Structure 1
Amino acid sequence: MIEVKRFAGDPRVAADWDSYVEGCESASFFHLSGWLKVNEQVYGHKGHYLYASDGQRIVGVLPLVEQKSRLFGHALVSTPFCVYGGVAADTNEVQVALEDAAIALAEQLGVGYLELRNKVASSHPKLVEKCAHSFFAWPLADTPEAILAGVKKKQRAVIRHSLNANLSFRVDGDTRTAYDIYSESVRNLGTPVFPSKYFQALKAIFTERCDVLTVEHQGKAVSSVLNFYFRDQVLPYYGGGLPQARDLKSNDFMYYQLMCLAQQRGYGYYDFGRSKDDSGAYQYKKHWGMEPVPLHYQFYLVKAAELPNLSPNNPKYQFFIKAWQKLPLWLSRALGPMLSKYLG
Structure 2
Amino acid sequence: MTDNYQLRKLGDSKQESQQWDDFVDSIDTGTFFHLTGWKRVIETVYGHSCHYIYATSNNNIVGVLPLVEQKSRLFGHALISTPFCVYGGVAANSESATLFLEKHAIELAHKLGVDYLEMRYPFARTNPDLTEKCAHSSFGWELADSPENILAGIKKKQRAVVRHSLKNDLSFRVDHDTKTAYDVYSESVRNLGTPVFPQKYFAALQQEFGEKCDVLTVEKDQKAVSSVLSFYYKKQVLPFYGGGLFDARALKSNDFMYYQLMCHALESKNCNFFDFGRSKDESGAFKYKRTWGMEPVALHYQFHLVKAEALPNLSPNNPKYQFFIKMWQKLPVWLSRRIGPFLSKYLG
Q: What range is the shorter-chain TM-score in?
A: over 0.9
2:24 aligns to what?
A: 21
SS in 1 for 2:241: strand
Matches within 5 A, 1:46-195: 46-195=49-198
Amino acid at match of 2:334: W
Within 1, Cα distance between the matches of 2:70 and 2:134?
A: 21
SS in 2 for 1:183: helix
Question: 1:278 pairs with 278, 282, 287, which one?
Answer: 282
| Paired positions, count | 344
Question: 1:241 pairs with 241, 244, 269, which one?
Answer: 244
Within 1, Cα distance between the matches of 2:11 and 2:291?
A: 43
How far is the alpha carbon of 1:166 from its aligned partner? 0.2
How far is the alpha carbon of 1:231 from its aligned partner? 1.0
Question: 1:343 pairs with 334, 344, 347, which one?
Answer: 347
Query: Normalising by the residue count of structure 2, what TM-score does the alignment of the two structures yield?
Result: 0.98
The answer (yes or no) to whether the contact 1:115–1:298 under 8 Å persists in 2 is yes
Within 2, Cα distance between the matches of 1:8 and 1:65?
A: 14
Give the gaps of 5 or more residues in structure 2: none
Deviations along 1:230-262, one digit per CA (max 9) or x if unpaired, are 011000000000000000000000000000111
Amino acid at match of 1:157: A
Give the gaps of 5 or more residues in structure 1: none
Deviations along 1:192-233, one digit per CA (max 9) or x if unpaired, are 000000000000001110000000001101000000000110
How far is the alpha carbon of 1:147 from its aligned partner? 0.4
Within 2, Cα distance between the matches of 1:270 and 1:202?
A: 20
Within 1, Cα distance between the matches of 2:28 and 2:12?
A: 23
2:300 aligns to what?
A: 296
1:34 aligns to what?
A: 37
The answer (yes or no) to whether the contact 1:8–1:48 under 8 Å persists in 2 is no
- Taking only aligned residues, the RMSD between alpha carbons, in angstroms, comes to 0.6
Within 1, Cα distance between the matches of 2:296 and 2:12?
A: 36
SS in 1 for 2:29: coil
Alignment of 1:263 onto 2:266: yes
Within 1, Cα distance between the matches of 2:75 and 2:136?
A: 20
Within 2, Cα distance between the matches of 1:330 and 1:270?
A: 33
Question: 1:6 pairs with 3, 6, 9, which one?
Answer: 9
SS in 2 for 1:304: coil
Within 2, Cα distance between the matches of 1:65 and 1:252?
A: 34
Within 2, Cα distance between the matches of 1:37 and 1:9?
A: 9
1:311 aligns to what?
A: 315
Amino acid at match of 2:17: A
How far is the alpha carbon of 1:8 from its aligned partner? 2.3
Amino acid at match of 2:286: Y
1:322 aligns to what?
A: 326
Within 2, Cα distance between the matches of 1:47 and 1:217?
A: 42
SS in 1 for 2:225: strand
Matches within 5 A, 1:173-252: 173-252=176-255
Amino acid at match of 2:253: S
How far is the alpha carbon of 1:123 from its aligned partner? 1.0
SS in 2 for 1:164: coil
